[in-house]
């Protein structure tokens, strides 16, 4: 074993020893303990009805002192009715909310609350929550089993050597009955009868307890994982509902973005080209007045100067309009992303290295979004990164277009601090794309934008 | 005349100053927002204010609100509001009460120096200068549109120019007619529409605008 491998092994062993004492183990243990009662109402109702019928009512509810089939069927019907009642009154939803809260707090499992029900009994999320409560019975029993056998029994086993001497110090020759030791195998029939009869034997129990406690966090994690899976699947809004919710949000974003872009466009026109053209017209009007309709011109110099000013205004207006038009849709994009990104990279304030490998052409809408993402990322890097070089990589893989912009700047990009990245993420989300930011403070920043080749094809 | 200018686009403001100074007026204040305009008018007491509607900080109707405030606080100061687009609702707010000493023009109109300075002069003299865009929108939307049918095309032209706030002489100049012909047209229009003939231009503008549904 080499030195680093040994160190890694020691670290792993240390982690394994510490595992039972971590906060995570504690929280998962607490979750296991709290969970089971939630699943009990229905079984208790069913059991109570069955017992009551079997004990109190006579035939036809009992057969040979046992509940008859009729009694069992009736109990089942009562259970179903109770379930319906729990759904209709919103009790299941309340219980589901409690589970979601607990799971969020203890497991870090954050599940979105489903939308409110439309009708009392046609409450899909309510019935799915009911299904969770039913499945919670086996899941909760498994959790309690783990708590009892691994944690409680593990601790009890550890204690054997300590009380043995105090309670079992009988005079020699007295024969004592053996003390059973509970292990996960106790009820399995495999080496099931672990008993201690002597003081040295208690150390075997101690060892078993230690092993059980070391295994406990991992077994707990296993049963909790199953529960997490149930929570995610049954207590959330459901895939379709979640999708609808996401679509509603991105649609609202798209509408807002479109309105905002139009407003900005109007503002740019109003403050830019329009005012220049108005000034141009005013200057020409003044020049025309100076020149008069015919005959000699008294103040040629002033007229010349006004025409010169008008000429400048006209040229400025042309520049502004061109910039504006390019901001709406860069004409070079019609030749494909390669050309468009090349001209973008060529005008970048920070030297940019460009690699484009996109054999399949995306739809124009996707090309436009990809282009503006690249433009925004370059502008952002130029503004904030203090980088010396930027790498732009655009590739296509499995129906997705990936744009990766990497700079060697100061890092620490935080989309929450309004760097235009959140707006970009919204724009990308509208077509089911995604934006990933890797920007450790002081390190290189890599921002990856992934877009489907065509909008609407997931 | 002493003129105060409120316009946030420096380029256009400089042009306006030059244009008005070339015409022999004195520009006593150049500001870029509504607040500064109110302060400048209070201290400089200009005869006329030329104000852009859309100015900082909100870039919505700063100039208009400043103009309305001026009309209230300094009724003697004429106000000419300029804008890159025409909103009839803004015109209605400006003219509310009295059309005396008030103007509302598209910025484009400054290109015709004579027409623009004529409008400034008219407003300063207590008259009205309403952009022909406003008038044509009014004519198009007038609930009396049917009643205008008896007017001849020429009479409609005269009606529109009266609504803009022009005097008979102004109408005559614009349509290249003699003063007498214009007076005849005006009398005919008032007769056909059943409006009381009035001596002053202001009352006449008001009558026409009221008729058009203002």
B121 with B194, same domain? no
Q: What is the pLDDT at residue A19?
A: 77
Please indicate whether, in this complex, the C-beta atoms of B22 and A270 are within 8 angstroms of each other: no
Let me know: does B49 contact B76? Beta carbons within 8 Å: no
Least confident range from A272-281, A387-396, A411-420, B106-115: namely A411-420
Strands in B48-52's sheet, in edge-to-edge order, are B26-31, B2-6, B48-52, B78-83, B102-106, B128-130
Nearest CA in chain B to A281: B111
Using a CB–CB cutoff of 8 Å, tell me whether B10 touches chain A: no
For testing the chain A interface, which of B82, B86, B113 should be mutated: the one with the most A CBs within 10 Å?
Answer: B113
B47 with B117, same domain? yes
Polymer length in residues for chain B: 214
User: Of chain B residues 101-140, which have a CB less than 8 A from chain A?
Assistant: 107-108, 110-114, 116
B60 with B107, same domain? yes
Tokens 């106790």 found at = A186
The domain boundary residue, chosen from B107, B130, B153: B130
How far, in Å, are A142, A229, A238 from residue A103 at the CA level? 17, 11, 17
B10 with B79, same domain? yes
Let me know: does A354 contact A339? Beta carbons within 8 Å: no
User: Of chain A residues 211-270, which have a CB less than 8 A from chain B?
Assistant: 267, 270
Q: What is the pLDDT at residue A275?
A: 94
ipTM: 0.89
Let me know: does B110 contact A285? Beta carbons within 8 Å: yes
- The tokens of A55 are what? 């004990």
Q: Which helix (H) or strand (E) holds A22?
A: none
Domain count, chain B: 2
Nearest CA-CA distance, residue B111 and chain A, Å: 4
With 80 as the cut, is the pLDDT of residue B35 above it?
yes
Let me know: does B44 contact B2? Beta carbons within 8 Å: yes
Q: What is the pLDDT at residue A1?
A: 46
Query: Residue ranges of the domains in chain A?
Result: 14-111+119-166+178-235, 242-328, 331-452
pLDDT tens digit string along A209-245?
888 888 889 999 999 999 999 998 888 887 787 788 8
pLDDT tens digit string along B68-99?
999 999 988 999 999 998 888 888 888 887 88
Banded pLDDT at A208 (limits 50, 70, 90): confident
The domain boundary residue, chosen from B101, B130, B159: B130
Cβ-proximal residues to B73 (8 Å cutoff; 6+ apart), any chain? B38
Please indicate whether, in this complex, the C-beta atoms of A282 and B11 are within 8 angstroms of each other: no
B12 with B97, same domain? yes
User: Of chain A residues 268-297, which have a CB less than 8 A from chain B?
Assistant: 270-271, 274-276, 278-279, 281-286, 288-289
Q: What is the DSSP string of A350-361?
A: S-EEEEEE-SSP
Please indicate whether, in this complex, the C-beta atoms of B110 and A274 are within 8 angstroms of each other: no
Report the alpha-carbon angle B92-B97-B98, nearest 5.
Answer: 95
pLDDT tens digit string along A286-302?
999 999 888 888 889 99
With 80 as the cut, is the pLDDT of residue B213 above it?
no
B163 with B113, same domain? no
Nearest CA-CA distance, residue B206 and chain A, Å: 30
B72 with B171, same domain? no
Q: What is the 3-state secondary structure (H, E, C) of chain B?
A: CEEEEECCCHHHHHHHHHHHHHCCCEEEEEECCHHHHHHHHHHHCCCEEEEECCCCCCCCCHHHHHHHHHHHHCCCCEEEEEECCCCHHHHHHHHCCCCCCEEEEEHHHHHCHHHHHHHHHHHHCCCEEECHHHHHHHHHHCCCHHHHCCCCHHHHHHHHHHHHCCCHHHHHHHHCCCHHHHHHHHHHHHHHHCCCCCCCHHHHHHHHHHHCCC
A331-452 to CATH, choices 3.40.50.1370, 3.40.50.970, 3.40.50.1220, 3.30.565.10: 3.30.565.10
* Mean per-residue pLDDT of chain B: 90
Please indicate whether, in this complex, the C-beta atoms of B114 and A289 are within 8 angstroms of each other: yes
B95 with B19, same domain? yes
How far is A328 from A320, CA to CA, in rounded Å? 12
B29 with B116, same domain? yes
Let me know: does B33 contact B8? Beta carbons within 8 Å: yes
Q: What is the pLDDT at residue A392?
A: 95
The DSSP bridge pattern shows strands B128-130 and B102-106 to be parallel
* Mean per-residue pLDDT of chain A: 86
Let me know: does B208 contact B195? Beta carbons within 8 Å: yes
- The tokens of A244 are what? 């609808």
Nearest CA-CA distance, residue B9 and chain A, Å: 7
- List the domain range (segments joined by +) for residue B168: 136-211
> Which whole number is the average pLDDT over B155-170?
91
B94 with B116, same domain? yes
B19 with B69, same domain? yes
With 70 as the cut, is the pLDDT of residue A174 above it?
no
- The tokens of A274 are what? 């329009």
The domain boundary residue, chosen from B85, B103, B130: B130
> Which whole number is the average pLDDT over B50-58?
92
The CATH number linked to B118 is 3.40.50.2300
The CATH number linked to B187 is 1.10.10.10
B121 with B143, same domain? no
């Amino acid at each position: 074993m080499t030195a680093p491998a040994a160190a890694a092994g020691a670290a792993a062993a240390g982690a394994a020893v510490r595992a039972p004492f971590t906060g995570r183990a504690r929280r998962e243990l607490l979750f296991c303990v709290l969970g089971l009662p939630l699943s009990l109402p229905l079984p208790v109702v069913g059991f109570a009805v069955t017992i009551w019928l079997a004990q109190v009512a006579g035939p036809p509810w009992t057969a040979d002192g046992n509940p008859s089939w009729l009694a069992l069927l009736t109990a089942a019907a009562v259970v179903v009715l109770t379930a319906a009642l729990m759904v209709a009154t919103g009790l299941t939803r309340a219980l589901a909310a409690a589970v979601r809260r607990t799971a969020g707090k203890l497991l870090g499992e954050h599940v979105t609350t489903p939308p409110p029900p439309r009708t009392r009994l046609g409450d899909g999320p309510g019935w799915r929550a009911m299904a969770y409560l039913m499945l919670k019975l086996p899941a909760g029993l498994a959790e309690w089993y783990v708590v009892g056998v691994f944690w409680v029994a593990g601790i009890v086993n550890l204690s054997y050597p300590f009380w043995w001497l105090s309670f079992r110090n009988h005079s020699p020759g007295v024969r004592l009955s053996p003390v059973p030791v509970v292990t996960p195998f106790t009820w399995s029939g495999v080496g099931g009868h672990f008993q201690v009869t002597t003081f040295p034997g208690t150390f075997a129990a101690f060892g078993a307890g230690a092993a059980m406690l070391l295994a406990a966090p991992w077994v707990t994690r296993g049963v909790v994982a199953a529960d997490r899976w149930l929570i995610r699947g049954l207590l959330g809004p459901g895939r379709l509902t979640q999708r609808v919710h996401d679509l509603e949000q991105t649609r609202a974003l798209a509408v807002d973005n479109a309105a905002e872009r139009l407003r900005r466009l109007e503002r740019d026109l109003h403050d830019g080209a329009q005012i220049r053209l108005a000034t141009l017209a005013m200057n020409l009007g003044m020049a025309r007045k100076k020149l008069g309709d015919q005959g000699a011109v008294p103040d040629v110099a002033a007229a010349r100067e006004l025409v010169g000013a008008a000429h400048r205004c006209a040229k400025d207006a042309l520049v502004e309009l061109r910039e504006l038009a390019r901001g709406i849709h860069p004409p070079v994009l019609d030749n494909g992303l390669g050309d468009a990104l090349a001209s973008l990279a060529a005008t970048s304030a920070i030297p940019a290295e460009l690699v484009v490998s996109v054999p399949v052409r995306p739809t124009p809408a996707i090309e436009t979004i990809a282009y503006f993402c690249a433009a925004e990322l370059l502008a952002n890097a130029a503004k904030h990164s203090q980088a010396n070089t930027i790498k732009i990589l655009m590739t296509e893989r499995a129906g997705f277009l990936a744009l990766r912009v990497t700079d060697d700047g100061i890092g620490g990009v935080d989309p929450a601090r309004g760097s235009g990245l959140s707006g970009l993420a919204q724009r990308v989300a509208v077509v089911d794309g995604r934006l990933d930011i890797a920007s450790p403070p002081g390190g290189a920043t890599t921002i990856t934008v992934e877009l489907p080749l065509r909008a609407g094809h997931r | 005349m002493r003129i105060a200018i409120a316009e946030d686009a420096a380029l256009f403001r400089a042009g306006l100053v030059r244009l008005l100074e070339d015409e022999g007026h004195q520009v006593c204040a150049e500001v870029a927002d509504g607040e500064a305009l109110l302060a400048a008018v209070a201290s400089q007491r200009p005869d006329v204010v030329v104000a852009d509607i859309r100015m900082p900080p909100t870039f919505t109707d700063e100039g208009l609100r400043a103009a309305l405030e001026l009309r209230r606080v300094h009724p003697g100061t004429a106000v000419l509001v300029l804008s890159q687009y025409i909103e009839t609702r803004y015109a209605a707010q400006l003219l509310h009460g009295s059309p005396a000493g008030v103007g509302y023009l598209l910025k484009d109109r400054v290109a015709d120096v004579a027409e623009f300075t004529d409008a400034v002069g008219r407003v300063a003299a207590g008259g009205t200068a309403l952009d022909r865009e406003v008038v044509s929108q009014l004519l198009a939307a007038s609930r009396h549109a049917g009643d205008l049918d008896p007017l001849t095309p020429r009479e409609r032209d005269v009606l529109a120019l009266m609504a803009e706030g022009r005097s008979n002489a102004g109408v005559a100049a614009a349509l290249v007619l003699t003063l007498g012909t214009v007076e005849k047209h005006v009398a005919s229009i008032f007769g056909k529409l059943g409006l009381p003939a009035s001596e002053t231009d202001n009352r006449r503008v008001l009558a026409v605008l009221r008729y058009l549904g203002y």
